[in-house]
Amino acid sequence: KEAEVSQVEYKLIEAYKKAALAYEEKKDYENAARMYRKALAFCPEDENLKNLLNKLMPLITQSGTKEND
pLDDT score, position 64: 57
pLDDT score, position 63: 64
pTM for the complete prediction?
0.81
- State how far the Cα of 57 lies from the Cα of 32, in Å rounded to an integer: 10
In this structure, how many other beta carbons lie within 10 angstroms of the beta carbon of residue 64? 11
DSSP notation for 48-59: HHHHHHHHHHHH
Question: Could you read off the pLDDT of 10-69 as tens digits, one per residue?
Answer: 999 999 999 999 999 999 999 999 999 999 999 999 999 999 999 999 999 876 544 433
